A and B are shown apart, each in its own frame.
Chain A
Amino acid sequence: MTVRERLRQNISAAFYRHGLLCASYPVPIILFTSASILTCCYPLLKLPLPGTGPVEFTTGVRDYSVPSHGTQGDLGERPDWYRGPPVAYIQQVLVKAAVSPWDSSLVPVDVFRSPLGRVFSLLEEIRDHVYTDRSLESLCLQVTDLLPGLRRMQSLLPEHGCLLVSPGNYWQNRRDMFDSDPDILKTVHQHEPKGLHTSATLKDLLFGVPGKSTGVSLYSKKRVVTYTITIALSSYDARFVASLRARLKQLHPSTNCSLREDHMVHVHFKEEIGIAELIPLVTTYIILFAYIYFSTRKIDMVKSKWGLALAAVVTVLSSLLMSVGLCSLFGLTPTLNGGEIFPYLVVVIGLENVLVLTKSVVSTPVDLEVKLRIAQGLSSESWSIMKNMATELVIILIGYFTLVPAIQEFCLFAVVGLVSDFFLQMFFFTTVLSIDIRRMELADLNRRLPAEAGMPPPKPGPLRPREAPPPSRPSPHTITLQAPAFRNLRLPKRLRVVYFLARTRLAQRIIMVGTVIWIGILVYTDPAGLRTYLAAQVSEQSPLGEAGLPPHLGVAPVFPGGDPTSTLNVLPAPEPTPLPENQSQGHGEARSGPAPLTSPQITWGSEDEEVWRRLSFRYWPSLFSYYNITLAKRYISILPVIPVTLHLSPQEAIETRHPQDTQHAPRTSAKTTELQADLTLYKVAALGLFAGVLLVLLLFCLYRVLCPRNYGQNGVQHGRRRRGDLPCDEYGYSPPVSEISPLLLRGHSMDIECLANDGMLLASCCLAGQIRVWDAQTGDCLTVIPNNGYELGFGDYSLLGPEARNASTPIMDNEHPLRRRTTPVRPALFGDQPDLTPLIDTNFGEVPPSQMMPGCGFDFGELVERAYKEHEASPPLPFPPSPPAARQRRRSLGDQSVAPPEQVLLAPWDWDSSVWSMELRGNLIAAGRSSGKLELWDAVEGSLRCCNEDGSSGITALAFLNNRIVAARLNGSLDFFTVDIHKPLGLLQYRGPPGRASLPPSPCYSSEDVISCQLTRSVQCAHQKPITVLRAAAGRVVTGSQDHTVRVYRLEDSCCLFTLQGHAGGITAIYIDQTMVLASGGQDGAICLWDVLTGSRVSHVYGHRGDVTSLVCTTSCVLSSGLDDLICIWDRSTGIKLYSIQQEVGCGASLGVISESLLVTGGQGCVSFWDLNYGDLLQTVYLGQSGEGQPVRQLLVLDNAAIVCDFGSELSLVYVPSVLEKLD
């Protein structure tokens, strides 16, 4: 335990020092951090870009042997996927064929017809090749059925036999079908898909070279046809392959061919990502973003919320990058798919620490220096941060011992990520936070640019735009563009929206540029990728576009021999019609003359060594996938290509001609072809642009339609209305199981101002000064103590003498039918007075504060006069305007006491002084009056037992604890009284700890005791300003004042223990209970939790717009209500707001907790019960008949779970029997 404590202290001290360091030198630390990030990320440059591209590995052919399955990694450069036999060995025969010399009598079709025809003889040769009783049949990869979905390819791809692919497959490897094919191009192109396809097309598959370089088109300039015969071998027999190579070379020698033949390339394919695989990935990313959103939403009370949120995200991301970089630095190349594990890593590392840090720093006292705030915030959270980190490390360590390689790798990454994240939090985020907080303070002090311009941008380097998030000042040089005064203006909403848009557009641009660069790099690094493929697509589609241009038919004959190249690059009509046939046939011969034609040259270059590289990288996977063989996570070995050169004589070409071949004739020049190709591109571009513009317009319209301007306000109003309606509807339909029925206590003629209870007894005091004592169990009125001044009636006030006060006799009005709903009969004494009660509108919450000017109070004169005229009453109303009750009571009281000096003159006795505060203990009622008198009344008998007139300033608050009474006065002084009993029998029983769990109402003070009340100590100037709140519990007296401080006194010796500072406004609410929990709320809307033993602030939250009006704590929550009519429920340990309840207007402060889980609030004529743990509305109890809308202004919870509500001039007693059961 002690070790733990010491550890804790050390940690927090270390964090404190670290916080000081970070806040003192923000710039060097941020520079250092970003340098270390960049250093750690440097190894990432060597990593391949994430993507699904294949990986290669090259070995020599000569000493090749099939890699074993074993895990021994003796060869360092051998990748770990290079294990076991490959899926297939690929042997390609690259055929280049040309008709040479080129004869002018040849038609364009001759370029490819006869060369393609030679494929059949080659195939035969390959099939029949035998080397020492091993034929191709025994070595090749046997394939079975095609996948069921590929019926249309059934005739084109081999089935049930060797996987041997060549252009001959178009004609089922039969020469006769080829010979009888009238249009080769049509056959080849009819299987091409329309539109853009990223995967390999059938033409690619069969030809084995990119579509553009096959030369199978009518406008090929080189007139060389290139294709491959691809053989997939299941096992590798070096001698067979060598003999095949020798045989083919011997048959078709390639003269100038110097291709290297000593390298074998192994290509490993990663997992393919299809739509179905993408869905879980996308889901995890969506969850990740939701997590980030919900986390960063909690950042509050900082200068720039967005900036800190971005800093948090950057912290996490760069820690991930750092971990990857570090791991790859130490030779741990990530084999896991980065994109897949990334969200989980973010979730494991989490944003919690960052948020906790922010929160803790923000809740430090504002008036401290920034350095100290950061240091304090850090040290207060140090223990939990370290604990969390240790826990996570332990969990990851456990994960490491699962001995599953993938999980181990994940754990390794997570550990490095956690450590680097911790590092970044401590150095990077803390510093950013300190800068942010300093800026907030500077802004608060209205200090402008000079002070801040000295502060350099938080972070240089690529991350900088994120680090300087507020749009108003992204960097120092933009400051000059704005007028300095501009910042102090509160920007209109629209402008802020514009700024917001500007900001997001910036973000969009960054994302867009990043994406474009990314795609560009991907395309660029993959030479056989999308780029060449797209180009091929465009050029191949151009003939289709050409087909719809019949007017060009007549052009060619007019210029028969214009350009020599144009004659070669002619375009066929895919489906020749009879009409052009004659024309073209005629011109086919006419064209021959003038062009000096060059013979095609067959050249072999280095680009022919690995012709498959120029294909899409999906070429092999898609070929094998047709037979349901996956290449994902497997590899194939590609043997060196066998070059075959075919030279055909023109004679041969003419012989193999199909009768229809000569129909193809030049139609148009090459220039138009180029133009057409360009036009297609332009068309696509224009279409895309148009679609984009349309989409933007549509989105804009949608936005305008869906989002009205006053979106937020509507929502609030709607919510409030709905809440208001809800209980009424409930009531209107059917009264709920009415186990809760209110008990009305009537008897007061005016609004009730003070309420006090002692478990079994209940005392209330109305504006008229009448005190009534009720039995809290039954609701019977036990005693009525009339105001000493008014006991003879309002009219006879001038007759009042001193004897009237002393001879105050209790009036027991037991005859009052208390449960009757009719208004009680007014005493006969008041008969000559009009009933003024309906005139009194005490709902001051709705009155604008300007009307509550000091001294004038409320002008009731008109109302009263009218009432008097109606009543024909002569004497004017004697008493001053009633002090405003309800919520503004404290303040208005302070004002009012100064106001009526003439009444003091008029009557020296305090008959007109009103009761400002009241307490009830045992059967003694302590009443503090506005004249500064403290009176002790017997609650049962109604007799005045004692009176103390030591002070002259009005008693604003009273606390009655044990035998001591503490009175707070208007002038800020605090008086401690002792109640003594002079009866020797000593019947005074100390009631032990006050509060809920008290004794039954046995009279503690017998009537014959002489009770005296002595002033033991008076603390003058306890506060600079009037004391507003006074609470006592657990031997402590806590006062809150308008001078922004809370003071804690010890009850025994009235010694001031602490002065608690931290509020930025007057204290309006205090809660303290037996467990020494002290909470205070102020006019600034802040709520502070204090440790009473040490006087330190435990937490500090801002909860309300306006005063905090009441505060209650349970063991787990803090409940607060404010002038904004909102009840907020906070988690006591963390200070996180759990939820809030919107109250009706004017009922905000009525709040009580019955048990740990039952909250009761007041509303318009009703009280509502809530489940505290969930915020469920359990039940609404209506106090009046039809909910006439008297707001419940005060709410008191008794021991036996009855609730007393101040409901106009009536009291309501509501029992909650179910709660009693729960408590038992």
Chain B
Amino acid sequence: MPRLEERCWSCSCSTGVKSKELSSASWIASKTGEMMSIITSVLRQAYVSLYHVQSANLIRRGLVLFAVGVFLALVLYLLQIQRNVVLFPEEVLDTLFSSAWWIPPCCGTAAAVVGLLYPCLDSHLGEPHKFKREWASVMRCIAVFVGINHASAKLDFANNMQLSLTLAALSLGLWWTFDRSRSGFGLGLTTALLATLIMQLLVYNDIYQYTSPEFRYIRSWLPCIFFSGGVTVGNIGRQLAMQFHRV
């Protein structure tokens, strides 16, 4: 647990330090730090009795989830880039790794946190997730998630309303097909709201700019993507929790 906490701290801190606007960045860092500490304290309380058994597993699961998050973030970022810049000169990859290098680690951390929170929340609510607990279903879920992103990146919609409605329907379908638990829905919604909020804060404080000039377009798909991402990562996290403890 302390290791996880440290990692969260170091990540959020590094995010803050990297950004030039020190005041707002530090504010965000402190806020995220507060949130992280709350989360970790909850986690700590939750696992205090099971401390010894679970810490190693927790770290392993966290690492796996982190890797998954980083990978998915890269893939989705590339998908989104394709929408705006169709031709790829050599520099795009360079800019990808120079300007926004901190995005994949942040996504990874978020994935780890969400993926660990899901099983934890399940066990706390006493509603264990029993729906389709097998890897094939998880793979299907990931594929559908990537497909939703693909659709949002590749398809041309008439207007933003249509785009966000379609995406919302798709995300709800994803949840219904692969999750169907109240806690999953709630946590996905929370994730979506929080992530969108953080995104907006980052943008308003000029820490991060969208490459696309049309800002509304981004705003219309962001929550849906975050929601379905939360559900997907939660699915992976649950499956990992079961897998690692199968002993």
Q: Kindly name the residue among B76, B79, B81, B119 whose own CB sees the greatest number of chain A CB atoms within 10 A.
A: B79
Q: Return chain A residues, CB-CB under 8 Å to B156.
A: 404, 406
Contact A1141 B247 (CB under 8 A): yes
A489 to chain B, nearest CB (A): 35
- B173 at interface (Cβ–Cβ under 8 A)? yes
Binary A-proximity of B129-149 (CB < 8 A = 1, otherwise 0): 110011110011011101100
Contact with A along B90-132 (1 / 0, CB 8 A): 1111000000000000000000000000010011001011100
Chain A residue at minimal CB-CB distance from B148: A344
Chain A residues lying within 8 Å of B79, measured Cβ to Cβ, are 280
Also in contact, A402 and B78, with CB within 8 A (given A294-B139, A347-B144, A632-B86): no
The yes or no answer to A398 lying at the interface (CB within 8 A) is yes
Give which listed residue, A347, A733, A1157, A1171, contacts B52 with CB less than 8 A.
A733
Of the residues A294, A403, A407, A1177, contact of B135 by C-beta under 8 Å:
A294
With beta carbons under 8 angstroms apart, the residue of B76, B92, B130, B136 that contacts A298 is B136
Q: How far is it, in angstroms, between the C-alpha of A418 and the C-alpha of B66 when the chains are bound?
A: 36
Please tell me if A630 contacts chain B, counting CB pairs below 8 Å: yes
Report yes or no: B143 in contact with A291, Cβ–Cβ below 8 A.
yes
Cβ–Cβ contact B158 & A404, under 8 A: yes
Closest Cβ of chain A to B20, distance in Å, is 24
Contact partners of A352 in chain B: CB under 8 A: 136
Q: Are A340 and B143 in contact (CB under 8 A)?
A: no
CB-nearest residue of chain B relative to A149?
B89
A294 adjacent to B242 (CB under 8 Å): no
**Known contacts A276-B88, A347-B143; A1141/B246 CB under 8 A:** yes
Check B146 against A1136 for contact (C-beta < 8 Å): no
Contacts of A347 in B (CB 8 A): 140, 143-144, 147
Contact A283 B245 (CB under 8 A): no
B-contacting residues, A1111-1151, CB 8 Å: 1116, 1131, 1136, 1138-1142
Known A279-B78, A294-B139, A625-B87; judge A1173-B123 contact (CB<8 A).
yes
Q: How far is the CB of A1154 from chain B (nearest CB, A)?
A: 15
Interface: B193 (CB within 8 A): no
A736 within 8 A of B: yes
Chain A residues 285-335 with CB under 8 Å of chain B are 287-288, 290-291, 294-295, 298
In the bound complex, what is the Cα–Cα distance between A1141 and B242 (angstroms)?
12
| Contact residues, A386-401 vs B (CB, 8 A) | 395, 398-399
Residues of A within 8 Å of B122, CB to CB, are 1173
Task: Give chain A residues whose Cβ lies under 8 Å from the Cβ of B75.
Answer: 279-280, 283
B198 to chain A, nearest CB (A): 24
| Complex alpha-carbon distance, A337 and B200, angstroms | 34
Q: Which residues, 236 to 277 on A, are CB-close (under 8 Å) to B?
A: 271-272, 274-277
Chain A residues with CB under 8 A of B49: 736-737, 1179
What sequence of 0s and 1s flags, for each residue 51-92 of chain A, a beta carbon within 8 Å of any chain B beta carbon? 000000000000000000000000000000000000000000
- Please name all residues of chain A whose beta carbon is closer than 8 Å to the beta carbon of B86 when the two chains form the complex: 271-272, 630, 632
Q: With A294-B135, A1139-B246 in contact, is A407–B155 under 8 Å at CB?
A: yes
A723 CA / B52 CA spacing, docked (Å): 15
Q: Are B247 and A730 in contact (CB under 8 A)?
A: no
On chain B, the residues within 8 Å of A149 by CB distance are 89-91
Contacts of A294 in B (CB 8 A): 134-136, 139
A736–B55 CA distance with the chains assembled, in angstroms:
14
In the complex formed, the residue of B with least CB distance to A147 is B89
Q: How many residues of B contact A (CB 8 A)?
A: 56
Contact of A403 among B52, B92, B144, B162 (CB under 8 A): B162
Cα–Cα, bound, A352→B178 (Å) = 13
Q: Shortest Cβ distance from B94 into chain A, in angstroms? A: 10
From B53, B76, B128, B147, contact of A1177 by CB (8 A): B53
Q: Quick check: is B54 within 8 A (CB to CB) of the other chain?
A: yes
Q: Are A1173 and B128 interface neighbours, CB within 8 A?
A: yes
User: For window 616-631 of chain A, which residues contact chain B by CB distance below 8 Å?
Assistant: 625, 628, 630
Q: How far is the CA of A723 from the CA of B126 in the complex (A)?
A: 27
Q: How far is the CB of B141 from chain A (nearest CB, A)?
A: 9
**Residue from A275, A290, A630 having most chain B Cβ neighbours under 10 A:** A290
Given A404-B155, A1139-B242, the answer on whether A1174 and B143 have CB atoms closer than 8 Å is no
Do A340 and B78 have beta carbons less than 8 Å apart?
Answer: no
CA distance A223 to B49 in the complex (A): 90
Q: Judge whether B245 and A1177 touch: CB under 8 Å.
A: yes
A1116 CA / B155 CA spacing, docked (Å): 43
In the complex the two chains form, is A730's CB within 8 Å of B136's CB?
no
In the complex, what residues of A have CB within 8 A of residue B126's CB?
1157, 1222
A1184 interface residue (CB < 8 Å to B): no
Min distance, Cβ A629 to any Cβ of chain B, angstroms = 9
A1171 contacts which of B89, B123, B151, B162 (Cβ < 8 Å)? B123
A148 on the B face (CB < 8 A): yes
Tell me if B139 and A1174 are in contact (CB < 8 A).
no
A287 and B154 within 8 A (CB): no
Q: Tell me whether A343 is interfacial, beta carbon within 8 Å.
A: yes
> B247 contacts which of A298, A723, A737, A1136 (Cβ < 8 Å)?
A723
Q: Are A276 and B119 also in contact (CB < 8 A) when A298-B134, A350-B140 are?
A: no
Given contacts A395-B173, A1142-B247, contact A402 B128 (CB under 8 A): no
Answer whether residue A675 sits at the interface, using C-beta atoms and an 8 A cutoff: no
Does B166 make an interface contact (CB < 8 A)?
yes
Asked if B14 lies at the interface with its beta carbon under 8 angstroms from chain A, I say no
Residue numbers in A under 8 Å from B133 (CB-CB): 1138
On chain A, the residues within 8 Å of B81 by CB distance are 276
Chain B residues in 8 Å Cβ range of A1139: 242, 246
Set of chain B residues within 8 Å of A632, measured between Cβ atoms: 86-87
- State whether the Cβ of A686 lies closer than 8 Å to any Cβ in chain B: no
Bound form: Cα–Cα A284–B241 in Å: 24
Q: Is A1176 an interface residue (CB 8 A)?
A: yes
Q: Is A1178 in contact with chain B by the CB < 8 A criterion?
A: yes
Q: In whole angstroms, how far apart are the Cα atoms of A1115 and B101 in the complex?
A: 49
Task: Output the least CB separation between A60 and chain B (Å).
Answer: 32
A1187 CB–B CB distance under 8 Å: no
In the complex, whether A1175 has a CB less than 8 A from a CB of chain B is: yes
**Most-contacted residue by chain B among A279, A730, A1173, A1222 (CB, 10 A):** A1173
B157 within 8 A of A: yes
Give the residues in chain B near A1131, CB-CB below 8 Å: 130
CB-nearest residue of chain B to A291 = B139
Chain A residues 676-732 with CB under 8 Å of chain B are 723, 726, 730
Checking B71, B87, B143 against A343 with a beta-carbon cut-off of 8 angstroms, the contacting residue is: B143
| Inter-chain contact A276/B78, CB cutoff 8 Å | yes
| Complex contact A283–B146 (CB within 8 A) | yes
A residues within 8 A CB of B92? Answer: 276
The docked-state distance in angstroms from the alpha carbon of A352 to that of B134 is 12
Q: How far is the CB of A1173 from chain B (nearest CB, A)?
A: 3
A730 touching B123, Cβ below 8 Å:
no
| CA of A291 to CA of B92, assembled, Å | 32
Q: In the complex the two chains form, is A730's CB within 8 Å of B241's CB?
A: no
Q: Is the CB of B143 within 8 A of A1176?
A: no
Q: What is the chain B residue whose CB lies nearest that of A290?
A: B139
| Chain A residues, CB < 8 A from B166 | 402, 404, 407
State A395–B172 Cα separation when bound (angstroms).
11
**Alpha-carbon separation in the docked complex, A35 to B69 (Å):** 46
B82 contacts partner chain A, Cβ-Cβ < 8 Å: yes
User: Is there contact, CB below 8 Å, between A284 and B146?
Assistant: yes
| Pair A1177/B139 contact, Cβ less than 8 Å | no
Residues of A within 8 A of B154 (CB): 340, 406
Given the known interface contacts A298-B136, A402-B162, the answer about A1174 and B245 at a Cβ–Cβ threshold of 8 Å is yes
Contacts from B to A (Cβ < 8 Å):
49-50, 52-54, 71, 74-76, 78-79, 81-82, 86-93, 119, 122-123, 126, 128-130, 133-136, 139-140, 142-144, 146-147, 150-151, 154-158, 162, 165-166, 169, 173, 241-242, 245-247
Q: A284-B146, A402-B162, A736-B52 are in contact. List 6 more A-B contacts (CB 8 A).
A: A280-B150, A343-B143, A344-B144, A404-B157, A1141-B246, A1176-B54
**Would you give 10 A-B contacts (Cβ < 8 Å), ordered by A?**
A149-B90, A287-B142, A294-B134, A340-B150, A350-B140, A403-B158, A404-B155, A737-B49, A1175-B245, A1175-B247
The 4 closest A-B pairs by CB, nearest first: A1173-B128, A291-B139, A294-B136, A294-B135
